[in-house]
Amino acid sequence: LIMFLFLKGLFAKHRWSCSFSVLYHFVVCVCCFLHLMFQISDLFSCALIVVTFVMHWTFSIENGPRRVNHAAVAYNNYIFSFGGHSAEEVQVVYEKIDIHVFCPTAFKWKEMPMPDYSNIYNHWAPCHRYGHTAVTYKDKCYIFGGRNIKVGACLGVFQFDFKTRVWHKKATLGYKVYPRDAHTCCVYGSMMIIFGGFVEYTQQFSNDVFILDLDTFIWRKPNVTGTPPIWRDFHTATVIGDRMYVFGGRSDEAAPYHSNVERYPTDLFYLDLSTFTWHEVQTTGERPTGRRSHSAWEHSGCLYIFGGYNGLTNHHSNSVYRFNPNSSKWEKLKPGGCPPTPRRRQCCVKIGSKVYIFGGTRFDLR
C-alpha cells in the first residue's frame, strides 16, 4: 500500500504520461511476486486475502488467527472472528471462546480482551467451539451450535453485545432444536433461520428449517412446502431479497444417516421466505463442482461462491463462481491478481465492495 501511494504521488507530481492502469498492474505484479516468495513459508492459512468487485485479488501477509471452522461477521466496518479450531493451540474443556478483530483501514488483527466474568451475574461467554454460526442483529451478534473438541455438540444461543463486550446466554422458548454443527444460519428481518447440519443427538444429517425470533427468542419449526434439498452439512445459505439460496455441502449415500460414503450435490435450491416453499433452480452456464466447506456471499443481487473441498476427487478449490438469479446462469469468474491458495473451512466476510477471506486449511497447510 505504501509503495502504491508513493508511486501514485510520483505520477501526479511529475505528470508522467504513463496511464494510472499501468501503475495499478505494476503493483499487482509486485504483489504476485511477493505472493510466490511467501507461499513457500506456509503463511496463507493465517493470511487475510481481499477480492474487490473490480475483480482483483490482493493479499496481506499480516499474521492473523490460524483457524478453521471459525465464524465471523462484519460490524461497523470491522470483522469479528469467533472461535474455530487450531491444531497449534491446546484447548481447555471449558475455556471461553476467543474473539479476534480485524481493522480494514489499519489492516491488522487484534485479539479482543474480555471482561472478568467471575462477578457478573447471568453473563455467560460460550465455551470454545468450531463449526458454529454467527449472525448480527441490532448491534448484537448471535452464536449458535458448533462443537467443543472435548464435550461435543454445544447447547444454547449466545448473544454478544458489540458495545459492552458482554456475553449473555439467552433463554429461549418454543420448539426444541437439538445441538448441531456445520449448519447454516441467516437473518431475514427478525428471524434467525437455521438449515441443515449434523445433529449429534440423532447422529444424522439434517435438512430441516428452524427459526428463532430474535425479538421474542421463541423457536419454531415453520410449515415448509415443496421438495427440500437433501440432507447435508458444510453447505452455504445466502439470503438474496426474499430468497435463501442453498448450495453445496456434504451428504451421504445413506442420508440422513452417516455411512462415510459421501455425496457432493451440485444442485441449487432456494427457500421463498415469504411462503416458506422450497424451489429447485434450473440453472444454465458453468455450474460449480460439488464441494463442502466453501464460502458464499451476495453482491449486487448475485450469489458468489469461493473455494471448498470435494472428498471424492480429493480436490481443494480457489475458484470463484457467480450465479445471477435473474438469468439463472452460473459463470466461472477469473479475477485479476494472484488468487489465494486452494482451501476449505475458511471464513469470508463482505464489507462494502470488498470480500475478506481468512483462515482455512488444505492437506499441506497446517
Alpha-carbon distance of 196 to 234, in angstroms, equals 9
pLDDT score at 149 = 86
CATH at 71: 2.120.10.80
Indicate whether 365 pLDDT > 60: no
Q: Which range among 84-93, 142-151, 239-248, 339-348 shows the weakest confidence by mean pLDDT?
A: 84-93
Least confident range from 7-21, 122-136, 178-192, 260-274: namely 7-21
In a domain, 313, yes or no: yes
- Higher-confidence position of 52 and 350: 350
- pLDDT, average across residues 143-149: 96
What is the arithmetic mean of pLDDT over 275-279?
99
Question: What percent of the chain shows pLDDT beyond 70?
Answer: 81
With a cut of 60, say whether residue 26 has pLDDT above it. Answer: no
Please name the residue ranges forming H helices in the chain: 2-14, 20-39
Phi-psi region of 314 (alpha: psi -120 to 50; beta: other; left: phi over 0): left
How far apart are the C-alpha atoms of 237 and 101, rounded to whole Å?
A: 24
The mean pLDDT of 70-86, rounded to a whole number, is 96
Whether 283 is in a domain gets the answer yes
Q: What's residue 90's pLDDT?
A: 62
Paired residues of 316 in beta bridges: 309
Residue 175 lies in a domain: yes
Residue 220 lies in a domain: yes
In this structure, the strands spanning 108-111 and 133-137 are unpaired
In a domain, 37, yes or no: no
What pTM was estimated for this model as a whole?
Answer: 0.86
Q: Minimum mean pLDDT among 43-52, 269-278, 292-301: which range? A: 43-52
The answer to whether residue 10 scores a pLDDT higher than 60 is no
What's the pLDDT band for 39 if we cut at 50, 70, 90?
very low
pLDDT band at 205 (very low <50, low <70, confident <90, very high): very high
For the segment 48-71, the average pLDDT, to the nearest whole number, is 80
* pLDDT recorded at residue 118: 64
Residue 120 binned pLDDT confidence (cut-offs 50, 70, 90): low
Q: Is residue 171 part of a domain?
A: yes
Which structural domain, as residue segments, surrounds residue 209? 64-358
DSSP conformation class of 337: S
pLDDT for residue 56? 86
Is 7 part of any domain? no
Residue 11 has pLDDT above 70, yes or no: no
Indicate whether 140 pLDDT > 80.
yes
pLDDT confidence band for 119 (50 / 70 / 90)? low
Residue 319, amino acid: S
* 328, 284 contact by CB (below 8 A): yes
**Domain assignment present for 177:** yes
Q: Give the number of domains in the chain.
A: 1
Whether the pLDDT of residue 64 is over 90: the answer is no
Higher pLDDT, 190 or 41: 190
Q: How far apart are the first and last CA of the chain?
A: 28
Over range 169-182, report the average pLDDT: 97
